[in-house]
Amino acid sequence: MTTATVSGAYPFLAEGGLGAEGIFIGRDVHAEAAFCYDPFSLYNSGRVDGFTNPNAVLAGIIGMGKSALAKSLATRAIAHGYRVYVPCDPKGEWTVVAQALGGHSIALGPGLPGRMNPLDAPARPTSVPERAWLTEIRKRRLLLLAGLTRTVLKRDLLPVEHTALDLALDLVVADAEAHGAVPLLGEVADVLGSSRRLDQALGDHAGRMGSAAEDLAHALRRLVHGDLSGMFDAPSTVAFDPTAPMLSIDLSRLGGTGDDTALVLAMTCASAWMESALADPASGKRWVIYDEAWRVMRHIALLERMQSQWKLSRGLGIANLMVFHRLSDLLSAGDAGSRGRVLAEGLLADCSTRIIYRQEPDQLGAAASLLGLSGVETRAVSALTKGRGLWKVAGRSFVTQHLLHPEEKALFDTDARMSP
Ligand SMILES: Nc1ncnc2c1ncn2[C@@H]1O[C@H](COP(=O)(O)OP(=O)(O)OP(=O)(O)O)[C@@H](O)[C@H]1O
Ligand SMILES: [Mg+2]
């Protein structure tokens, strides 16, 4: 370089960082400074242009420290007055963290005593009027039923099937109210399976409604009589404690890999149960962490539920963190332009914070185009080591080394299972 160039490219410049507000994450590798982060203070202060929402996505290959970062965020956020929710923990690795922080974990699986009724109606927040709350609960229940049946049937529901779900739900809720009981999935399946009741409810003398609901009844049977029987089809044995700092739902004992459908159904029920309990805007700032979210990316029903939840979350004071491996997990939701892809890309667009840990070389192109990485950033991502990530916070970029406290390291260790 000539001296003329050098004087132009003054080398002693570094990003000023996001300021000292928020949770300490670690070291900003280029600025050699502490790196702190708090999505709500960034969102409220307007310090970063284009920071339009508190949600974050975290992607990286296996074992690079994604869960460790998410757990540090959780641990440290609790010290800042946040509450933390992990609606589905397929590896069961959040239980120790929740317990160590004074929270709870609920384990679900065959033979375990925990029961969770996803049709539970949570207590109405004082700020929401009665009517609006009833409408909200009904909407959530319908979304849940549509999501579950869609996942099992692996296809979009027909308009007549949506109507059948609508009717069946109303019948079951009216019955439950008359008996002072709670509506259950099994009852919805029964009504769907009984063409007479549906046809009566609609006054459809040609009997078309009942036969249209048969597929739905079969789909719901999996939750009632199939491999998930008992878990989500009984009154809840667990209560949501809004004062606990943390709650995780451990799904590691569901067993069976191969077919992800059982896990996806369980995740749908567990997150529906938890999300409706989080609908109180007066509950303060909260993180909802979807670790291992890549497992659900292919399931449009879950993406749909996530999207509608995320739309609400900002107003409720909720920041969502979604963790996956490759950016292309997002693309697996469907072909370009398909509903699944549009939903997945919409979720990504709803994340003002993108944290990229190391990616496989063949993934760099996809990552760069999805996230709009520059050439320098793309090269940086290919060389990241454990705990080190490229943080894209709206338009700004940082390479940050996440620093673990020794006690956190002991608590978060996922390698222990591998050692003798
Ligand atoms: N910043 C860090 N400094 C030191 N050790 C770390 C750091 N981050 C993670 N580790 C250690 O690396 C191991 C793997 O981390 P972690 O389980 O978080 O990876 P992961 O990316 O979530 O993997 P997977 O994709 O399999 O879920 C853990 O035992 C953890 O203690
Ligand atoms: Mg992990």
The verdict on residue 48 lying in a domain is: yes
The verdict on residue 313 lying in a domain is: no
- Which pLDDT tens digit goes with each residue over 223-269? 888 778 888 888 988 888 888 999 999 998 886 655 678 888 888 88
The verdict on residue 86 lying in a domain is: no
Stated pTM of the model: 0.89
Helical axes 185-193 vs 159-178, angle rounded to 10°: 120
Per-residue pLDDT at 344 exceeds 60: yes
Do both 113 and 184 map to the same domain? yes
**Ligand 1 surroundings by CB, under 6 angstroms:** 60, 62-68, 386-387, 402, 404, 409, 412-415
With a CB cutoff of 8 Å and minimum separation 6, the contacts of 18 are 35, 36, 37, 42, 47, 48, 393, 396, 398
Cα(386) to centroid of ligand 1, in Å? 7
The verdict on residue 42 lying in a domain is: yes
Do both 66 and 29 map to the same domain? yes
Neighbours of ion ligand 2 (CB under 5 A): 67
Domain assignment of residue 120, given as a range: 98-246
Average pLDDT across the chain, whole number: 87
Do both 112 and 67 map to the same domain? no
The verdict on residue 262 lying in a domain is: no
Question: By alpha-carbon position, which residue is closest to atom 23 of ligand 1?
Answer: 63
Share of the chain above pLDDT 70, in %: 95
- Which pLDDT tens digit goes with each residue over 386-420? 999 999 998 899 999 999 999 999 999 877 655 44
The verdict on residue 297 lying in a domain is: no
Question: What's the domain count of the chain?
Answer: 2
- Which pLDDT tens digit goes with each residue over 305-317? 888 888 888 888 9
Do both 150 and 14 map to the same domain? no
- Which pLDDT tens digit goes with each residue over 149-170? 988 888 889 998 999 999 999 9
Do both 229 and 131 map to the same domain? yes
Candidates 294, 384, 403, 409: which one to mutate for ligand 1, based on the most atoms within 8 Å of Cβ? Answer: 409
Cα(355) to centroid of ligand 1, in Å? 15
Choose one of 184, 214, 246: the last residue of a domain. Answer: 246
- Which pLDDT tens digit goes with each residue over 348-379? 888 999 999 999 988 888 888 888 888 889 99
Which of the ligands is closest to the CA of residue 417? 1
Per-residue pLDDT at 25 exceeds 90: yes
Q: In three state form, how does the secondary structure of the chain look?
A: CCHHHHHHCCCCCCCCCCCCCCEEEEEECCCCEEEEECHHHHHHHCCCCCCCCCCEEEECCCCCCHHHHHHHHHHHHHHCCCEEEEEEECCCCCHHHHHHCCCEEEECCCCCCCCCCCCCCCCCCCCCCHHHHHHHHHHHHHHHHHHHHHHHHCCCCCHHHHHHHHHHHHHHHHHHHHCCCCCCHHHHHHHHHCHHHHHHHHCCCCCHHHHHCHHHHHHHHHHHCCCCCCCCCCCCCCCCCCCCCEEEEECHHHCCCCCCHHHHHHHHHHHHHHHHHCCCHHHCCEEEEECCHHHHCCCHHHHHHHHHHHHHHHHHCEEEEEEECCCHHHHCCCCCCCHHHHHHHHHHHCCCEEEECCCCHHHHHHHHHHHCCCHHHHHHHHCCCCCEEEEEECCEEEEEEECCCHHHHHHHCCCCCCCC
Do both 355 and 404 map to the same domain? yes
Do both 48 and 108 map to the same domain? no
Do both 66 and 148 map to the same domain? no
Choose one of 246, 273, 293: the last residue of a domain. Answer: 246
Do both 38 and 158 map to the same domain? no
Cα(413) to centroid of ligand 1, in Å? 7
Do both 156 and 240 map to the same domain? yes
Q: Which atom of ligand 1 is nearest to the CA of 26?
A: 1
Query: Which tokens in the block code for residue 194?
Result: 């009984």
Do both 115 and 32 map to the same domain? no
CATH code of 40's domain: 3.40.50.300
Least reliable range by pLDDT among 56-60, 184-188, 295-299:
295-299
Question: By alpha-carbon position, which residue is closest to atom 11 of ligand 1?
Answer: 65
The verdict on residue 76 lying in a domain is: no
The verdict on residue 187 lying in a domain is: yes
Query: Which tokens in the block code for residue 407?
Result: 């006690």
Q: In three state form, how does the secondary structure of 325-364 look?
A: CCCHHHHCCCCCCCHHHHHHHHHHHCCCEEEECCCCHHHH
Do both 102 and 237 map to the same domain? yes
Tell me, what's the pLDDT at 21? Answer: 87
